[in-house]
Amino acid sequence: MAVSTVAPEAPPTGRPGAAPAGRVRKSSGWLYLAPALLALVVLFVVPLASLVVDSFTEPETGLGNYASLFTDGYTVKVLGRTLLIALIVSVAGVLMAYPYAYAMTLVGPTMRAVLVTIVLVPFWTSMLARNFAWLVLLQDGGLVQNILTPFGLGDVRLLGTPLAVGISMTQVLLPFLVLPLYSSMSQIDGRLVAAGQSLGAPRARAFRRIYLPLSTPGVVAGMSLVFVLSLGFYVTPALLGSTRSAMIAQVINVRAKELLDFGGAGAMGIFLLVVTLVVLGLSRRLAGQNVAVAAAGGQPTRAGTTGGQGSSVRPWLRIHTTIVAVILVAPTLVIFPMSFSAATTFQFPPDEWSLRWYENLFTSPDWTAAILNTIQVGIYVAVIATVLGTMAAFGLARLRPRWRGAVNGFLLSPMIVPHILVALVVFSAFLRLGLNGTLIGIILAHTAMALPFVVIAVTARLQGMDVRLPAVAASLGASPVSAFRRVTLPLVLPGILSGAVLAFVSSLDEVVIALFLQAPGAITLPVQMFNSITVQIDPTISAASSLMVVLVSVPILLAQLAGARRSKKGTR
């Protein structure tokens, strides 16, 4: 009896470990979920609750903080401006994204792959790199101004205005519109419009009366997501706007970090959260689907088999799609030449070339420390979030359906809470615990933010898996441990890996929380980049931006290559 420690013998009275669909022991799900739920409660729910309390009690008990949201002239102005910019960005975004997504359903598979890659380029370009690129393009004497000069608009100031903020935000958020739109459009049977035409509707009217209503869920999902994401934007307005045109996130930052007014900042953050929840709730009701999930899992699922037979890409659509594609990739294209500039300004295109900024990036102690910090944080986050998230996804699958929805929603909640509020919550809590200004603080906060990515990726794999397979393995003689090792794990592994990559990348690119928690010993690369624009003008940021693109895209590419090799060759 001493031999078999590997495959534990089920006691004769025990139930068979692996069971077919619906016969899984439901209670064991909570065990798998416990670590992730505990982490979210400790890192997120408790601090949030205490901030809510603060917002009603600091500096004095009452509704004063909330009242001043709507009575204090400055705050009202900032709130109004924030809502307006968010609205403009989401409307402008839809106008750009809708035809682009529609074109994606019409073109052939190769062209579609190109268009998908172009949409994903902004995801691969770090947040700060993109904002830096827009700063370069929109600055006085920059490329955009030069292009506008022949039209007599040469002396229009862009940088420091809400217009610059809006342009950059729209580009940054476009993927969040294109992907849900495309996924909703690719499910529309293209023959329906043809059917409408055969029933007597002219092409344009058939499109308006059939295609448009059918694609509405995607529009609603994408627009509301972009709207709520816009509300909490911090980096873009801070870099491209000015204090005179501040958005609410900047005010929250000042209140919390400089004035330590957690009551006032908390009230603003809670208000932001309430607006977010209301908008997402409404859109979910309107679109009849889970927006956050749809947009987050928004890889185009399958090539639209239902694309418009017989409809071709009209010239105007071709032009529009090209323009949007250029806007999507332009910032990324600016970054690389910039990094080889010899100038000490952000001049583009550069007159002279050199490697001095790369040299500085890898020799200056500030920059190298930031790089090492970032990679260290990213690896810790990837490991912890992957372990917790994978266990949680397995737990979810074992839960009774009536619990599953609620628990899943809770696990994904860090995704819909505005980052500025997360930053505020974590900042105020860690300040009390003395975790501020430590890498541990940043790691813990990033782990909570990264958890949803792992849960989504692993859950998607688990759902794509034939639930009977562990039972099949049992019928072929596999013990529960063996069935897990030889069947379940290999099938779910791609999800775990892509979850880990996403967690790593999300931590790598995260600025707002890292900005709040920064201290001399705990500065990540994005924070160093942010400071290099706002505190001193240091062109090393262009080299750092290029490095970030490489740091983000290499893991993703490797994961995809591994995935492709896996599906082509055997797994053993």
Partner 1 sequence: MSIQNAARGARVQLVDLSKQYGSGPPAVDHIDLDIQPGEFLTLLGPSGSGKTTTLNMVVGFTEPTSGRIELNGKDISRTPAHKRNFGMVFQNYALFPHLTVAQNVAFPLRERKVPAAEITKLVGEALELVDLGGMGERRPHELSGGQQQRVALARAVVFSPNLLLLDEPLSALDRKLRQSLQREIKRLHQELGLTFVFVTHDQDEAMTLSDRIAIFDQGRIVAVGTPRELYHRPTTRFVARFLGESNVFGGRYRSADVYEWHDRKWTVPEPGDGSEQQSLIVRPERMRIASDETSVPAGSNVAPAAVTDVSFYGTYFRIELAFGDDSVGCAVLPVGTPASFDPGTRVIAHWRPEDQVLVSE
Q: Which residues bind partner 1 (CB under 8 A)?
A: 10, 12-20, 23, 466, 468-469, 471-480, 482-483, 486-487, 490-491, 570-572
Quick one: residue 104, left, alpha or beta (phi over 0 = left, psi -120 to 50 = alpha)? alpha
CB-wise, 178 or 473, nearer to partner 1? Answer: 473
Q: What is the rounded CA–CA span in Å between residue 166 and residue 241? A: 9
**Packed helices 262-287 and 212-231: angle between N→C axes, nearest 10 degrees:** 170
- Give CA–CA dist 541/129, Å, rounded: 8
Smallest gap from Cβ 571 to partner 1, in A, equals: 5
Question: For residues 87 and 224, what is the distance between their CA atoms, to the nearest angstrom?
Answer: 9
CB 453 to partner 1: min, Å: 23
In whole angstroms, the minimum distance from the beta carbon of 9 to partner 1 comes to 9
**What distance in Å separates the CA atoms of residue 446 and residue 424, rounded to the nearest whole number?**
13
Nearer to partner 1, 23 or 314 (CB): 23
Q: Which is nearer to partner 1, 300 or 470 (CB)?
A: 470
For partner 1, the closer CB: 476 or 561? 476
Q: Would you say 384 or 471 has its CB closer to partner 1?
A: 471
How far, in Å, CA of 119 to CA of 356, rounded? 32
Q: Three-state DSSP class for 177?
A: helix
Rounded to the nearest whole angstrom, what is the least distance from the CB of residue 473 to partner 1 in the complex?
7
Q: Minimum CB separation from partner 1 for residue 16, in Å?
A: 4
Closer residue to partner 1 in complex, CB, 19/156: 19
Q: What's the closest the beta carbon of residue 474 comes to partner 1, in angstroms?
A: 4
- Inter-residue contact 417 to 276 (CB < 8 Å): yes
Six-digit token string for 555: 């893991």
Among 414, 85, 75, smallest CA distance to 237 is for 85
Q: Residues near 362 by Cβ (< 8 Å), separated by ≥ 6?
A: 368
Task: Output 11 or 315, the one with its CB closest to partner 1.
Answer: 11
Question: CA-to-CA distance for 207 and 197, rounded, in angstroms?
Answer: 9
Element of type H or E holding 376: helix 365-398
Residue 353, classed as helix, strand or coil, is strand
CB of 402 to partner 1, least distance (A): 15
Q: For partner 1, which is the closer residue by CB, 329 or 472?
A: 472
| Shortest CB 14 distance to partner 1, Å | 7
* Cβ proximity to partner 1, 244 vs 402, nearer residue: 402
Q: Establish whether the linkage from the previous residue to 99 is cis, with ω within 30° of 0.
A: no
Q: Is 522 helix (H, G, I), strand (E, B) or coil?
A: strand
Output DSSP code: residue 41: I
What are the distances in angstroms from CA 477 to CA 8, 23, 234, 472?
Answer: 14, 19, 57, 9
Give the shortest CB-102-to-partner 1 separation in angstroms.
31
Residues in the chain: 572
